[in-house]
């Protein structure tokens, strides 16, 4: 009887142990599955993050490439836009050498013409001149007056158009008043530099504070006035360079001339010069200059001249 009891108790203990083992096994399996799921999620999430990071890096790299390309294109465009622009200091130098009968050091043999227009901008003639220059794919240098810029919003917009279309800008004083600038035929340095500074301010107000020009043209020409030594010294210190001319249409000299007569004057004064700085005007009353310009450009092209600007 006792043996049967012991055997029954033993069997019950075995069943309990087996049940415990089964339950423990189930718990272990369940925990293992949960752990595996957590680990998979963790690594999957990490993999997604890695993929996202790689994708972001690819996007950034593409953006950097595009930015670098844009910068390179801008640099190339700027270089291309400046390919027909010369240093104003070199233009001043060859004009001075020519005026003094000295040997011109620049002997590359190229025929070059610099078209220049004084006293603008004006609402009547500057638009027509700009249209002709655009149609002919020719650039010019405009020596502007501060008072003309300040005269109207239309003139301010014309100044902007000149720059936007690739032309260069020079400073031609503010008032163009000979009596104020050159009393008794002599340069008044203070008055002259005051007007140069005043026009610079007018230019900056329209074209931005970063705008500057090194090209100066004396009203009437530097060649026409006495006692220029002091102003020349100041201009040299400021890296300004005056540019006179060695050919002109005579649209501001002598009796009134029509377009054909102006063109003939250009032909005479250009002559056989290799390098030409041609003086014309785009101010009010110079409608015949605007009419003559297409023919003048055609003539210069036929003579093999390359059109350039300076700044």
The active-site residue out of 118, 119, 244, 282 is 118
SS3 for the chain is: CHHHHHHHHHHHHHHHHHHHHHHHHHHHHHHHHHHHHHHHHHHHHHHHHHHHHHHHHHHHHHHHHHHHHHHHHHHHHHHHHCCCEECHHHHHHHHHHHHCCCCCCCCCCCCEEEEEEEEECCCCCHHHHHHHHHHHCCCCEEEECHHHHHHCHHHHHHHHHHHHCCCEEEECCCCCCHHHHCHHHECCHHHHHHHHHHHHHHHHHHHCCCCCCCEECCCCCHHHCECCHHHHHHHHHCCCEECCCCEECCCCCCCCCCHHHHHHHHHHHHCCCCEEEEEEECCCCCHHHHHHHHHHHHHHHHCCCEECEEC
281 among known catalytic residues: yes
Angstrom distance (rounded) from CA 196 to CA 19: 106
Pairing of strands 141-144, 247-248: unpaired
Structure tokens at 84: 């027909």
Angstrom distance (rounded) from CA 260 to CA 47: 80
The active-site residue out of 167, 172, 222, 281 is 281
73 among known catalytic residues: no
Structure tokens at 101: 């009968």
DSSP β-bridge partners for residue 118? 143, 281
Catalytic residues: 118, 281
């Amino acid at each position: 009887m006792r043996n049967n009891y012991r055997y029954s108790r033993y069997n019950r203990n075995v069943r309990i142990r087996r049940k415990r083992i089964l339950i423990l096994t189930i718990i272990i399996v369940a925990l293992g599955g949960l752990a595996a799921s957590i680990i998979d999620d963790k690594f999957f999430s990490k993999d997604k993050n890695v993929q996202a990071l790689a994708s972001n890096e690819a996007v950034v790299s593409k953006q950097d490439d595009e930015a670098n390309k844009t910068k390179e294109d801008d640099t190339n465009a700027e270089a291309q836009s400046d390919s027909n622009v010369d240093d104003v200091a070199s233009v001043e130098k060859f004009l001075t050498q020519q005026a003094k009968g000295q040997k011109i050091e620049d002997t590359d043999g190229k025929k070059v013409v610099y078209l220049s227009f004084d006293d603008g901008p004006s609402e009547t003639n500057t638009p027509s001149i700009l249209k002709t220059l655009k149609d002919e794919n020719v650039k010019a240098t405009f020596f502007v007056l501060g008072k003309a810029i300040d005269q109207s919003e239309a003139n301010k917009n014309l100044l902007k158009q000149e720059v936007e279309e690739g032309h260069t800008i020079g400073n031609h004083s503010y008032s163009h008043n000979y009596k104020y600038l050159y009393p008794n035929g002599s340069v008044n340095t203070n008055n002259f530099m005051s007007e140069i500074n005043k026009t610079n301010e007018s230019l900056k107000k329209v074209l931005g504070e970063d705008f500057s020009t090194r090209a100066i043209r004396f009203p009437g020409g530097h060649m026409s006035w006495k006692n220029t030594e002091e102003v020349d010294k100041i201009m040299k210190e400021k890296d300004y360079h005056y540019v006179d001319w060695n050919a002109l249409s005579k649209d501001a000299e002598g009796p009134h001339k029509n377009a054909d007569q102006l063109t003939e004057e250009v032909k005479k004064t250009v002559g056989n010069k290799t390098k030409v700085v041609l003086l014309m005007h785009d101010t009010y009353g110079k409608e015949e200059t605007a009419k003559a310009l297409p023919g003048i450009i055609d003539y210069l092209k036929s003579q093999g001249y390359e059109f350039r600007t300076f700044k």
